[in-house]
Structure 1
Amino acid sequence: MGDTNDSIKPERIIFVTVGTTCFDALVRVVDTPEVRQELFNKGYTHLLIQMGRGSYIPTKSSGEGGCLAADYFTFSSSIADNLRSASLVISHAGSGSIFETLKLGKALIVVVNEDLMDNHQSELAEELAERKHLFYARPQTLLDTIKGMTLETLIPYHPGDAKPVAKLINRFLGFPDD
């Protein structure tokens, strides 16, 4: 009975998803020692990256020696289980990924892919960040976003009222705000 689990930290998983796209800029920045260390410093224990069609292969790590355990995969028939088990989700700006994560009540950082042309997804992410439902970053600002994030400031997203989203879509399409 001499064994105690006092030194074992509870699992806190960061799930990174790029959807079906190629978003190597996001995968690369999450793979940097600085971002990994900051996530570890914030109490996270595991990093799981869904890298999609990307060609950049992130570094795997067992988590030994006081660092973040890390693994990756390309695609899955469903990421629902990954989202459910995550303490923090770092996602591309796809509306499906954003709303699925918010519906589960998960802390979310949306990282906009600036390489996409006519990136209307950034407008959605910016609007939801202004409403304090998520944090918003670009690949080059992700580290600072992680350093400065305070999860307690996030406001839960309650789906149901489509008016704000419809208003945003109308504004994007150039219709008046009535």
Structure 2
Amino acid sequence: MESANDSKISKRTVFVTVGTTLFDALVKAVDTPEVKQELYAKGYTHLLIQIGRGSYIPARSTGDDRSLAVEYFTFSSSIAESLSSASLVISHAGSGSIFETLRQHKPLIVVVNEDLMDNHQEELAEELAERRHLFCAHPQTLYQTIASMNLDSLLPYPAGDAKPVAMLINKFLGFPVD
């Protein structure tokens, strides 16, 4: 079992991704002192934010005994390394990002971009949250989601089972669901 001192020494990264979109509301939400303090209080040591096409620039920090180290970047040819080294992922609601994170068995908070029209992503995120595979939030509820999250309550997403996804797509398109 890790002692409190060991957990401070080990790097526990929260990776935030907006994909290829513009989602400044998510970047601003994770850049608040309240969110950063809550993540630190939960034992995370680093915050890596992929800001995509956004114009909001988060505050960098090297971290110390009382705060997260914060870094950001715009795009990368692959986020696979950032994803695989993350202890927690906070993501936009893109299906690719969601399923790649779940495939790697990473705890996930999906933040819905309310500015998108015909937001089918919200339906997917809410359905997967209802099935307890992830947590679903909006930019304005991210702090509360982090403060109340219990990672032990999450269930692994069944690998290779396309039926639940097909059912969600059929439901969204208005086809009969068995």
Compute the displacement of 1:159 (Å).
Answer: 2.3
For 1:33 and 1:124, the matched residues in 2 are separated by 29
Return the TM-score normalized by structure 2.
0.95
Instruction: Letter of the 1:97 partner, please give it.
Output: S
Helix, strand or coil for the counterpart of 1:98? helix
Letter of the structure 2 residue corresponding to residue 33 of structure 1: P
Q: Counterpart of 1:80?
A: 80
Equivalent residue, structure 2, for 1:52: 52
SS of residue matched to 1:140: helix
Q: Give the letter aligned to residue 20 of structure 2.
A: T
Corresponding position of 2:154: 154
- Whole-angstrom CA distance in 1 between matches of 2:137 and 2:19: 17
How far did 1:26 drift? 0.2
2:144 matches 1:144: yes
Question: Aligned-residue CA RMSD in angstroms?
Answer: 1.3
Q: Which moved more, 1:162-171 or 1:38-47?
A: 162-171
Change in Cα spacing, 1:116 to 1:69, as seen in structure 2 (3 Å) is same
Q: Shift of residue 9 of structure 1?
A: 2.2
Tell me the residue number matched to 1:61. 61
Q: Please give the secondary structure, in 1, of the residue aligned with 2:108.
A: strand
Detail structure 1 runs of 4+ shifted over 4 Å in the superposition.
Answer: 5-8
Counterpart of 1:34 in structure 2 is: 34
SS of 1:81 mapped into structure 2: helix
Shift of 1:41: 0.3
**Structure 1 residue 6: deviation in Å?**
6.0
Name the counterpart of 1:97: 97
Residues 143-172 of structure 1, C-alpha deviations (whole Å, 9 max, x = no match)? 000000000010011222222211111111
CA deviation after TM superposition for structure 1 residue 8, in Å:
4.7
What TM-score, normalized to structure 1?
0.95
Aligned-partner residue type, residue 47 of structure 2: L
Q: Which amino acid counterpart does residue 102 of structure 2 have in structure 1?
A: L
Q: Judge which range, 115-124 or 159-168, deviates more.
A: 159-168
| Inter-partner Cα distance in structure 2 for 1:33 and 1:85 | 24
Q: Which runs of 5+ in 2 are unaligned?
A: none
Q: Equivalent pairs: percent with the same residue?
A: 74
Aligned amino acid, residue 140 of structure 1: Q
| Cα distance change on mapping 1:8 and 1:172 into 2, 3 Å | closer
Contact 2:8/2:45 (8 A) holds in 1:
no
Question: Cα distance 1:58–1:120, how it changes in 2: closer, same or farther (>3 A)?
Answer: same
Report the structure number with the largest CA radius of gyration: 1
